[in-house]
Structure 1
Amino acid sequence: MLAYAPALLFFVLFCIGVTRDRRRFGNAIHLGLALTFGLLALIGKLSQAHALLGGIAVVALLTLPALGVLVLAGFLVANGVQMVRKEGMRPANLLSLLAGLGIVALIALLITAVALHSRTLVVIGVTATGLVGFVAFQFLCFVGYAFLYGRLPVRRDADYVVVLGSGLIGGVTVPPLLASRLERGRAVYERLTARGGTLQLVTSGGQGPDEQLPESHAMADYLVERGFPADRIVREDRSRTTEENLRFSRALMEAENPDYRCVVVTNNYHAFRAALMARKAGVHGQVVGSPTAAYFWPSATIREFAAVFLEHKVVNLGVCLLLVLGGVLIWWNR
């Protein structure tokens, strides 16, 4: 049982974190570490009990990730090309393509280093692999826990449903991405009112420099045109960012009901990061996601993870710096 102690420790930390607040990135890391140490302990025990099965497990542990990396690289490049075709050449739309090409470049570097028997290239390749592994582990934790968080049941005691805004087409029209949020917000509102609740729906979004009206007004008009009761809508029309969406919506809700509870609606790729931001902003509520086009999800998820990664930049960039310094020391002492 001692072999499973690290896995058990991190699982206990995960359970404590989830109990205290589900909207914590630390929960994702603890769960990832618990699964990693648990898998390593299981393989170790299997090797001791059955040498053949243990050997097969070790080979699988080494082979499957390598094949997965190749498949992932191809998928990201293909998705990146699709994103550019459908959404244009904006930097945010290039993330999956750049990630895929980065993986291909790393594989080429490692192959070249081995083929040329270059110590310098080997050190660079191993250091780069360490950096990618560190970031990839956190990314897998982020995606895995975001998947779990997105499947939590919607709370029953909400007083408000808050729909976060996004840009308008031509400065006036609700785009499909925002329409998806509004439809999910409406569905949540109707489900909770059917259980006997008395709720209000907050449309949150200010007016951008290229917009003819605040996003919250266009959102409210969209709902009213489709039969939603206008007197149940509260418009928050000052915010320009997600952080302001949450902060200003919180102020409106607290002014009416200091003990409020809410459900915040955004797109599924954005839900977990919005939950982290809601916790930071002191919003008492759960975040749920609405469907997003499949081709849009990879780049959007990478962008969301990058933002979360940089929010913890002192620790994360510190670890990256240590890995680079370790590589430099190995090369220097050749």
Structure 2
Amino acid sequence: MPFVIVFCVFVIIGSLILLKERRSFFGGMIFAFGGLFLTLTLLMMGLLKVSEISANSSTLVLIIVYALVPLLFLGMCVFFIFNTHTMQTKEGRSVTAKLSALLGINLLITVPAFFYLWSVGSSKIPALFFSFLIFVLLSDLLFSFLFTCYLFYSWMYQMIPIKKKVDYIITLGSGITSENVPPLLKSRLDKAIEYYHKNPKAKIIVSGGQGADEPVSEAFAMKKYLLSQNIPETQILVEDQSTTTFENMSFSKKIIFEDWMVEKREPTILFSTNNYHVLRGALYARKAHLKAEGVGAPTAMYFLPTALIREYIALLTQYKWFTLSMILICLAFVIYSQLPI
């Protein structure tokens, strides 16, 4: 019961932060952390209650805990590993393409190793080395679980429908190899067009500069595609200097407020990107002091795991204070657990 209360407090605190600003990484992670742990705790309590009812129920619980859960875990790890093969077949060999397999292999090693060490204790291993191993494995498991929290927060953020009138739609650029937009960028533009048809007076900002290996700016290729889809040129604004998501938001903000003519209210702004990138885009919009909500275009299923892992790593790098605090929590736990009682 104390754990239930603690996790409920996490959910309440996270909810209060998100009600004030739903683009809060800290608030979202607190809410997801508390919500997922609360769900797991209640599920375990439910299974224990069921096992007390009868012998048959107890057998069912044992099957779920010792057979079904490990099989689901193993299936998830195998999926991540084989997903890398699909990625490399369709997208080519790269370090990024291997992220999915690295996660699967990491979980297959870390989870059994942690529970084994925790069960045998430091009796067979020097105490200092044992503490170091527990710290490394515990940190690994915590960040793996936080990845699940990130997925939940990202999904939750996108589930809130946007029904209000829209004045501007920023479409974030991605890499191009010619003047024609690739499928990934096309899906972002199609999502922007979908919202434009709901808001015919809205203007679309195509945002993306020209990389060293790109023949034209991303904004140029994006505008060309929009014109081919019968979007009037007067409804297209071009931002062709940005090279990062933060610059997408900052430079587009400047263009929007130079164009905005209504003084009685602020413009309603959306940005369109792929579903895996919506949350990070929203966090960058907040950093740029741009009041904009994101909408996500669908992404090929084989590409999604790797893309989400990459986004998660980018967020941990961006929020260094959060990453460091999680490591310090693991260190404090290991030190406390080794103190004599």
Q: TM-score, normalised by structure 1?
A: 0.85
Q: Which residue number corresponds to residue 80 of structure 1?
A: 84
Is 1:106 equivalent to 2:118 in the alignment?
no
Report deviation, 1:243: 0.9
Residues 111 and 141 in structure 2, CA contact (< 8 A), matched pair in contact too: no
Q: Which residue number corresponds to residue 31 of structure 1?
A: 32
Report deviation, 1:49: 9.1
Amino acid at match of 2:35: A
Report deviation, 1:5: 3.0
Match of 1:298 among 281, 286, 305: 305
Q: Which residue number corresponds to residue 187 of structure 2?
A: 180
Report deviation, 1:62: 7.0
Assess, with a 3 A threshold, how the Cα gap between structure 1 residues 60 and 276 changes in structure 2: closer, same or farther: farther
Q: How does 1:264-275 map to 2 (within 5 A)?
A: 264-275=271-282
Question: Is the partner of 1:75 in helix, strand or coil?
Answer: helix
- Work out the CA distance in 1 between the residues paired with 2:330 and 2:63: 26
Deviation digits for residues 232-273 of structure 1, max 9, x if unmatched?
000001101111111100111122227222110000111111
Question: Is the partner of 2:23 in helix, strand or coil?
Answer: coil
Q: Which residue number corresponds to residue 156 of structure 1?
A: 164
Deviation digits for residues 130-156 of structure 1, max 9, x if unmatched?
122211221111101211212221241
Q: Which residue number corresponds to residue 143 of structure 2?
A: 135
Which ranges of structure 1 fall in alignment gaps of 5 or more residues? none
Deviation digits for residues 276-298 of structure 1, max 9, x if unmatched?
11111111111010011110000
Amino acid at match of 1:243: F
Q: How does 1:151-300 map to 2 (within 5 A)?
A: 151-170=159-178, 172-193=179-200, 198-257=201-260, 259-300=266-307
- Work out the CA distance in 2 between the residues paired with 1:83 and 1:50: 43
Residues 76 and 99 in structure 1, CA contact (< 8 A), matched pair in contact too: yes
Q: Which residue number corresponds to residue 11 of structure 2?
A: 11
Report deviation, 1:179: 0.5
Deviation digits for residues 70-89 of structure 1, max 9, x if unmatched?
11210110001111121122
Residues 50 and 61 in structure 2, CA contact (< 8 A), matched pair in contact too: no
Residues 110 and 141 in structure 2, CA contact (< 8 A), matched pair in contact too: no
- Work out the CA distance in 2 between the residues paired with 1:140 and 1:245: 28
- Work out the CA distance in 2 between the residues paired with 1:301 and 1:134: 17
Residues 276 and 311 in structure 2, CA contact (< 8 A), matched pair in contact too: yes
Residues 43 and 58 in structure 1, CA contact (< 8 A), matched pair in contact too: no
Report deviation, 1:161: 0.7
- Work out the CA distance in 2 between the residues paired with 1:180 and 1:24: 26
Match of 1:309 among 316, 319, 325: 316
- Work out the CA distance in 1 between the residues paired with 2:62 and 2:17: 32
Residues 31 and 141 in structure 1, CA contact (< 8 A), matched pair in contact too: yes
- Work out the CA distance in 2 between the residues paired with 1:98 and 1:42: 29
RMSD: 3.2
- Work out the CA distance in 2 between the residues paired with 1:141 and 1:316: 14
Report deviation, 1:124: 6.0
Q: TM-score, normalised by structure 2?
A: 0.83
What percent identity do the matched residue pairs reach?
A: 29
Aligned residues: 327
Assess, with a 3 A threshold, how the Cα gap between structure 1 residues 314 and 159 changes in structure 2: closer, same or farther: same
Report deviation, 1:329: 9.1
- Work out the CA distance in 2 between the residues paired with 1:285 and 1:272: 12
Judge which range, 39-48 or 312-321, deviates more: 39-48
- Work out the CA distance in 2 between the residues paired with 1:50 and 1:285: 49
- Work out the CA distance in 2 between the residues paired with 1:209 and 1:91: 21
Assess, with a 3 A threshold, how the Cα gap between structure 1 residues 165 and 238 changes in structure 2: closer, same or farther: same
Residues 180 and 291 in structure 1, CA contact (< 8 A), matched pair in contact too: yes
Report deviation, 1:68: 3.1
